[in-house]
Amino acid sequence: LKAEYHRLTRAHGDHALASAKDEICGNCFTLLSPQTMNELKMSQVVFCKSCGCMLYLPEDQSVGQVESQP
């Protein structure tokens, strides 16, 4: 994982990591699939299929958080 992270930061610089807030890649604004979101919620390493950046869940959407109902 460390080698992959270093490869991404060399290639993408500041855009190597992106938030997956609201099921959208924070780098390229592509809608993420439900499968991608499930993998993130299971703490797997996931890359955006569109731009290649490593995705992460923001703290307010992290594993174990209960979504509030409007």
Distance (Å, whole) CA 2 – CA 62: 22
Specify the higher pLDDT residue, 65 or 54.
Answer: 54
Is residue 39 a contact partner of residue 46, using CB atoms and an 8 Å limit?
Answer: yes
Residue 66 confidence (pLDDT) above 90: no
Identify the pLDDT of residue 68: 47
pLDDT tens by residue, 2-55: 888 888 888 878 788 999 999 999 999 999 999 999 999 999 999 999 998 999
pLDDT reported for residue 63 = 59
List Cβ neighbours of 60 (8 Å cut-off, separation of 6 or more).
none
> Whole-model pTM?
0.75
Query: Given pLDDT bands bounded at 50, 70 and 90, which one contains residue 69?
Result: very low
